[in-house]
Chains A and B, each alone.
Chain A
Amino acid sequence: MKLFGSRITFVAAIGVLIVLACAGGAVFAPWIAPYDPNLPMGGRWDPPSPEHWLGLDQIGRDMFSRILYGGRISIGLALLATSLAFVVGIIAGFAGAVFGGWIDIALSRIADIILSIPILMSALIIISGFGTSTTVLVLTIGFLYAVLVFRVARAVAMNIAVLDYVEVARLRGEGLMWVILREILPNALPPLAAEFGLRFCFAFLFVAALSFLGLGVQPPEADWGSMVKESALAIPAGIAAPLYPAAAIALMTIGVNLVVDWLLSIYSRPQGENA
């Protein structure tokens, strides 16, 4: 089977399947979920049974149904934040690469400063200033990751902007927007696609971590991270309840990572960067 013009490997195919399963479960949750995710229907932390595949949560709601619905919030928020990061990051990165000069220097310095402390710290500080809400969560992650995307987009656009065909287009008298949209963007897309997958992974884990800390998605809404937090008390009692949403997070991330790893090997971008 081929994807993006290259033969897909066995491992990458498994990744695609995992991602499709997780995303499908989230999208079709209302049709797949066996029970109402908000309806208590049994004892606290009842163990898994044929009726309730993953048991019940801390107030007796069906864990499997809650995970399906929670996936909508987890995956949705991560997608939203990543998309925001890409729109802002690519615009800024291309602007820096194409205009150069003081615009480029100013943008790069701002990026250096913001990245001089860990992103989780920046996020905590921003949230302490603006409070905990889903909007703040998405904007914070989107803004902080935009800085990382900016660096990648700028580097990619820099490499393309000096190529002959871009020069030709400029000499031909094409406008700036034409050069950016028709010459640079199409050739920057493959590496940016791999970057999108990678960034989505980190945004996804980031949303989960902040929700787990109680600073992300707030009740009554529940994503996978906050579900882990809410059922954490089951662990000392020897009950695996919080491990199910946590495993869902791990599964989804592994799936995306397998696909990204394969994309990276195609475009042979240097590996090892993981912020």
Chain B
Amino acid sequence: MLKLLGQRLVLGFLTLLVVSVLIFAVTEWLPGDLAVNILGQSATPENVAAIRAELGLDRPAHERYVEWLRDAAQGDLGTSLANKRPVVDVIGPRLWNTLFLAVYAAIIAVPLSVFLGILAAIYRNSIYDKVVNVSTLAAISMPEFFIGYLLILYLAVQFRWFPAIATFKPEQSFTQHLYSTFLPMLTLVLVVIAHMMRMTRTSVLAVMASPYIEMALLKGLPKSRIVVRHALPNALAPIINVIALNLAYLIVGVVVVESVFTYNGLGRLMVDAVSKRDVPVVQACGLIFAIVFIGLNLIADVLSILSNPRLRHPR
């Protein structure tokens, strides 16, 4: 089993390395003359020369890549083109905000959706199951900004229960933090729950179709006991994958939700950097998101290996 885990770890690391090459190539090398691209219409010869010198564009791309990666590994992500501050200082608080929101949403969404998904599997084809099916399908179909603006319009503007703009002030207490980020959290929970419930239901039902479950049924065990004691342990691996996928979404995919609530997270920073063509910030954000995403998938892999008795005790 250790060998299997080691393989996964090496594979994850290699993937990250290749992804870093791609990020660098797409942002700096493929589009042609970066200095002219960044400046757009204000590309005078002096400006172009200044940007070239700043980014060291006169050197070959592979040298710049190795240097960029080495600096990044040491915690130096370069200087933002937009405000001349070190990228690390710009990103730090943003990353913290994004993680805060993601954890907040996950703590509520994960237990709830696994519970509701299992319930839908137990009462398959009941009214509850059908209502769940149609409503989650509708929730998946709605763009995040539709749900977000709908919540703002009713819960923030009309009833004034929650703030519409999720601001973060250092002097706020923890409970105030939770309160001011309630609406973005709720939006994320609604989006994520729909996905997780559907997948949980599907994976439990897939296990429920196997012969040993039929055996348990014929022995006369109550259905809830069969689902929880017999089916769930075997459905755990796919469910863990589903949870990891959605956690990754909560950290990486929240760009739109952060924009709706003008929340100062990493996603919104990246979108701003993309529209301003602030290349060092884009590269840094891309790298961090890639680490988070690949890392979460790796953890999910490891957990599903650990949750599988056949892999835990190899013959």
Which A residues form the contact surface with B (CB < 8 A)?
Answer: 11, 112-114, 116-118, 120-121, 124-132, 201, 205, 208-209, 212-215, 225, 228, 232, 235-238, 240, 242-243, 246-247, 249-250, 253-254, 257-258, 261, 270-272, 274
A208 lies within 8 A of B274 (CB): no
A125 lies within 8 A of B282 (CB): yes
How many residues of B sit at the interface, in one of the four size bands? 35 or more
Q: Is B215 an interface residue (CB 8 A)?
A: no
Residues in B whose Cβ lies below 8 Å from that of A243: 146, 149-150, 153
Expressed in whole angstroms, the Cα–Cα distance for A254 and B134 within the complex equals 10
Contact status of A124 and B274, CB under 8 A, knowing A129-B26, A235-B152, A242-B149: yes
Interfacial residues of chain B within 260-315, with CB under 8 A of chain A in the complex: 260, 270-271, 273-275, 277, 279, 282, 286, 289-290, 293-294, 297
Shortest B157–chain A CB gap in Å is 5
Which B residues form the contact surface with A (CB < 8 A)?
Answer: 15, 18-19, 22-23, 26-28, 30-31, 37, 134, 137-138, 140-146, 149-150, 152-153, 157-158, 164, 195, 198-199, 202-203, 242, 248-249, 252-253, 255-256, 259-260, 270-271, 273-275, 277, 279, 282, 286, 289-290, 293-294, 297
The answer, among B30, B143, B273, for a CB contact under 8 Å with A209, is B143
B137 lies within 8 A of A254 (CB): yes
Residues in B whose Cβ lies below 8 Å from that of A129: 26-28, 30-31, 37
Residue from the set B27, B146, B153 with the largest chain A CB neighbour count within 10 Å? B146
Residues in B whose Cβ lies below 8 Å from that of A254: 137-138, 141-142
Residues in B whose Cβ lies below 8 Å from that of A125: 23, 26-27, 274, 282, 286
B270 lies within 8 A of A124 (CB): yes
A272 lies within 8 A of B282 (CB): no
Expressed in whole angstroms, the Cα–Cα distance for A117 and B260 within the complex equals 23
A/B pair count, beta carbons within 8 Å: 145
Shortest B8–chain A CB gap in Å is 13
A246 lies within 8 A of B18 (CB): no
Contact status of A117 and B290, CB under 8 A, knowing A238-B157, A243-B150: yes
A253 lies within 8 A of B141 (CB): yes
Residues in B whose Cβ lies below 8 Å from that of A127: 274
Shortest A262–chain B CB gap in Å is 11
